[in-house]
Amino acid sequence: MTRTPTIQSSKNRLRLGITSTALFLAVSYILFTAPQKISAHLNHSCFFVAAIVLSYNIAIVLSWVSFGLAFGIMFTILSFFAGLAGALRSGCYEAGYYTWSFVISGLLGYVHWKTVRGIENSFSLTREKLEEDINILSDNCARQKAEIKYLDEKLLRYLVLKDVTEVFTTTLLLEDIAKLIIERAASTIKKRGRILLFLTDLDKQELMLSASHGAVKIKGKKGDIFDRWTMKHGIPLVVDDAASDFRFSGSGAEDPKAGFKSLIVAPLLSGNKVIGVLRMDDDAEGTFTQDDLRLLDIIGNLGAVAIQNALLYSWVEELAIRDSLTGLFVRRHFMKRFQEEVRRSERKRSELSLLMLDIDKFKWYNDKYGHATGDIVLKTIASTINGVLHMGDMAARYGGEEIAILLAGADRKKAVTVAESIRKKIEARAITVRRQMHNVTVSIGVSTYPKDGIHEEELVKSADERLYRAKSDGRNKTCAE
């Protein structure tokens, strides 16, 4: 936008320069080549003299306008001496006085040149300042556009976090929450690599892999030095290069071939306890930024709340279906499951067995040593029973010292074998009561579906009758007939 006027001005000055030069040369040529008789004939005509003087003055002014200081001075001097020389040659000495007008024209030209130069310098400075301001504004505009783009992306991410919060409230199952944490971390941060969620085993104080995302094979199911560092310190961690990070150099950091180079790890905090860590890693260096770590930490905090709620829900649910003293299921829950298993056996035409177990002389232990000793006996027997049962079996505190055991898919022969194993292990396990060793015994009654009944009430009645028969026959026995 600034080049066109400059080019046009230069062209105009060139034209004026050519005109002034041509005019000077033409007047000088006429002045020095015209015959003297022309001068005499004109009788030193005022018109002729005025034309010569005017032409030189015009040439001087145009030279100042077109060429500037150096050529302006040169044209002024040349015109002055040319005028004097012409006056002397023509013999018209009075005309020499007019040459002083050339000096005045030169001064006028100088004033014009000075004024124009000052205006041009001022314009040039103003233009440079404007160009500088334009460049600064352009840079600011580009920077603001980049910031707006960054903030738009950040806003989009935090809107996704709002959705994360809502999704985490849709379930109270720990397995589902673990999967949701992994999925939302991947969709929010949108970086390649793998995502791992480790939950803390509070009893062993070690991490256990709960969920993962990504095709990379996971070697450590209990985490590595980076995960353990985060669990120990309870603060987020970002590593640009796992092989060269000074915090882990010489401390058994991951082998460069472990499948990752950069990573971010966020602790899952519940109060002051670290209940897990959420991790993202990649096989390239410097993949993750501090903003990525902040997002992962936010997701981890939200996930920690959801996990804690799921654990509390599971704990409350366990309290509702388990006996607080023995850890066995309560009667109500047991009978519900018993009914379901009877219906399943009916559909599949399979067998199941029920064991009713009672502690021999339990009232005697309570009366002699107190109820605290009776509680110890109950807890010890419950622990022994749980050590014998297999997956799918179920034990419940049926009432007082009576324990019911459900053996799904077991016929009478297998039920008797399990009952005898339980009875012998209980008898062999000594219990210390007031520094004295006691071997508690139990009596067991066995009933089997469908031989002893097709309804749960019939099976319970049959097992109870055989239990009391075992106690009547001397206790510490199993009765299945």
- At 97 the pLDDT is 56
- At 215 the pLDDT is 60
pLDDT digits over 26-69, tens only? 666 565 565 454 444 444 455 566 666 667 677 777 777 776 67
Catalytic residue among 206, 401, 427, 481: 401
- At 42 the pLDDT is 43
pLDDT band for position 91 (cuts 50, 70, 90): low
CA dist 227 and 466 (Å) reads 56
pLDDT digits over 199-219, tens only? 998 778 889 998 888 765 666
**Looking at the domain 174-319, which fold is it?**
Beta-Lactamase (3.30.450)
Give yes or no: 153 in active site. Answer: no
In the chain, what percentage of residues exceed pLDDT 70? 75
The top-scoring range by mean pLDDT among 6-15, 255-264, 357-366 is 357-366
pLDDT digits over 264-309, tens only? 999 999 888 899 999 999 989 999 999 899 889 888 888 898 998 8
pLDDT band for position 459 (cuts 50, 70, 90): very high
pLDDT band for position 461 (cuts 50, 70, 90): very high
The pLDDT of residue 189 is above 90: no
The pLDDT of residue 329 is above 50: yes
- Chain-centroid distance of CA 136 in Å reads 33
Chain-wide mean pLDDT for the chain?
81
Stretch 164-177: mean pLDDT, rounded?
81
Of residues 160 and 276, more confidently modeled = 276
Rounded to 10°, the helix 331-348/290-321 angle is: 90
- At 43 the pLDDT is 45
Range with lowest mean pLDDT among 96-100, 126-130, 203-207: 96-100
- At 276 the pLDDT is 93
CA dist 322 and 303 (Å) reads 28
Contact (CB, 8 A) for 234 and 269: yes
The pLDDT of residue 227 is above 70: yes
Please report, for the chain, the start and end positions of each structural domain, with discontinuous segments joined by +: 3-129, 174-319, 329-479
Contact (CB, 8 A) for 278 and 298: no
Claim: this prediction has a pTM higher than 0.75: no
pLDDT digits over 241-252, tens only? 888 887 786 554
Rounded to 10°, the helix 69-90/3-33 angle is: 20
Stretch 343-349: mean pLDDT, rounded?
91
Pick the CATH number of 329-479 from 3.30.70.270, 3.30.420.40, 1.10.3720.10, 2.130.10.30: 3.30.70.270
The pLDDT of residue 409 is above 70: yes
Query: What token pair was written down for 168?
Result: 């985490």
